[in-house]
Structure 1
């Protein structure tokens, strides 16, 4: 049994219905091991040939439509839900629903949610199809589950760069079903509520207070190190779903007014090696994926800031008003 449901039969029906002759396949890193199996099934059951993207893929913001334009009639993007963007080729988004049992981890979360009645429930695309089951379980154990749609996201869905589905909810605590800690850091900062992770990959539940405190100490250290920076590089992504050139221009103007220098740098995949030539710059501001500055901080010798962190450096925002950067899809 596969760990994920790729809905290949639905893809094949679409290919036959539209008489598609060439198909691009794009997977996030954790799903690339299934790429040749999916391609083989498509080619065995249709007249279409397939092209598999090997480039890194971090979300629907990173669709390979530009790379595959002119080469394929359809791009199938696995693992994420669609964003309201204009793509260069037709894109079919397949959520790649996880077949993993999450209820053991959800059950373990009850002890950490003790004393909280109104629970904000959120997850990622892989587990959205389980939200009704999770809701029934929680409400059967005396909880009131609260969810809403976000800006460009489905009900109960959070992205690494978009937490709108959890904002302004009348809740006592948040339960996040999924792996890792990054999403929950954003949830914690945006809600200022207790946050519990039900992690089906570890089959356990945990709170994030210790993790959040450690990350915030690192972020404030980066901000303090950038306080004396005179020359900034403002990084703009060439990825369609991450490109915020208008924001970069605003930040450049903000820096210039403080009698410091700023230069806008356009990149696709951001890495420490690509920033090495810019030796005269003291710090960088990332307007691309907000996770880069947080998750990859230790990889960079010079401070890598988010736009709200730059505002703290320049005295435009108080330390107490720290918030996560977001990319909004209205």
Structure 2
């Protein structure tokens, strides 16, 4: 795993005239927090390390920032502009030869290419590597919540919507993002894990069957809690208000952390998630009742048909 280079960060902190620095790292990088904090202390800064869970740049440690001049958020590109926050992406290299694993599965000579932020710096090299093997790989320029070219998030698949391609290669670990790419684009998707040296054709049908079952269960609910996040990067207040207006049994519920215990204590028969989309898709097995997406709630309320199913995204 790559390490965090502090040299540029220290220069930026000095340029800003910062004295007291708050650090925030996502779960996969938290073990590097102690070393980074000590490096900054040696450079003359006073440091606070946020120990709360962090799920992305949409989940800034604002409480820690209240005790510091600057918040340094590690691992993600910014999803919202904040003058006192420095987002420091975490770059993770992989062996370009791992692309060989995907080549036999590709059916098109012109494909889309996407990845997560930690690998985005390698996409130009990946494009060249694929070109040497007869594949034209196209990336879409970054914008908004995904400023890096070819970058997708669990809540945003704009970079995967590439005109003129029928097949997309996703580079990264896990299946959540490539399944999201397939649902968002209706394209054929190949998922390449460059560390496991494994490539697979993505099949979202199993997820869709589970989601259909949840929608049918949700139709039997006597009450609906519309979950509204208090995290600024996940707060979709207008959407929550609109969804609550669709059914007289719906009530808006504000939460900082969406947890199984919190939902049990609130006692609704079904919850509609307007916070991070991954909560509904990734964490459903943890919840005692259906947790559905806004688009799925529209199906429950008869405002959308199953044939018009859409993946939940935050634009």
Structures share a fold, TM > 0.5?
A: yes
8 Å CA contact 2:272, 2:297 repeated in 1: yes
Match of 1:270 among 248, 258, 270: 258
| Runs of 4+ with >6 A deviation | none
Q: Following the alignment from structure 1 to structure 2, what is the Cα–Cα distance between the partners of residues 97 and 322?
A: 34
> What's the secondary structure of 1:23's corresponding residue?
strand
Q: How many residues align?
A: 313
Q: Does 1:77 align with 2:73?
A: yes
How far did 1:159 drift? 0.5
> What's the secondary structure of 1:121's corresponding residue?
strand
8 Å CA contact 2:56, 2:76 repeated in 1: yes
Q: Following the alignment from structure 1 to structure 2, what is the Cα–Cα distance between the partners of residues 320 and 102?
A: 40
How far did 1:77 drift? 0.6
> What's the secondary structure of 2:304's corresponding residue?
coil
Q: Does 1:165 align with 2:159?
A: yes
Tell me which residue corresponds to 2:7: 9
Q: Pairwise mapping of residues 1-330 of structure 1 onto structure 2 (< 5 A)?
A: 3-44=1-42, 46-64=43-61, 66-85=62-81, 87=82, 90-99=84-93, 101-113=94-106, 115-152=107-144, 153=146, 154-209=148-203, 212-256=204-248, 261-279=249-267, 281-328=268-315
Unaligned runs of 5+ in 1: none
TM-score (norm 2): 0.96
Q: Following the alignment from structure 2 to structure 1, what is the Cα–Cα distance between the partners of residues 128 and 290?
A: 45
> What's the secondary structure of 2:52's corresponding residue?
coil
8 Å CA contact 1:24, 1:74 repeated in 2: yes
8 Å CA contact 1:105, 1:205 repeated in 2: no
Unaligned runs of 5+ in 2: none
Could you report, residue by residue, the CA deviation over 1:26-62 in whole angstroms, capped at 9, with x for unpaired residues?
A: 1111111111111111111x22111111111111101
Q: Following the alignment from structure 1 to structure 2, what is the Cα–Cα distance between the partners of residues 207 and 143?
A: 17
8 Å CA contact 2:127, 2:138 repeated in 1: no
Q: Following the alignment from structure 1 to structure 2, what is the Cα–Cα distance between the partners of residues 5 and 170?
A: 38
8 Å CA contact 1:146, 1:169 repeated in 2: no
How far did 1:172 drift? 2.3
TM-score (norm 1): 0.92
When the two chains are superposed, the root-mean-square deviation of aligned CA atoms in Å is: 1.3
8 Å CA contact 2:80, 2:233 repeated in 1: no
How far did 1:118 drift? 1.3
> What's the secondary structure of 1:266's corresponding residue?
strand
Larger deviation, residues 144-153 vs 291-300: 144-153
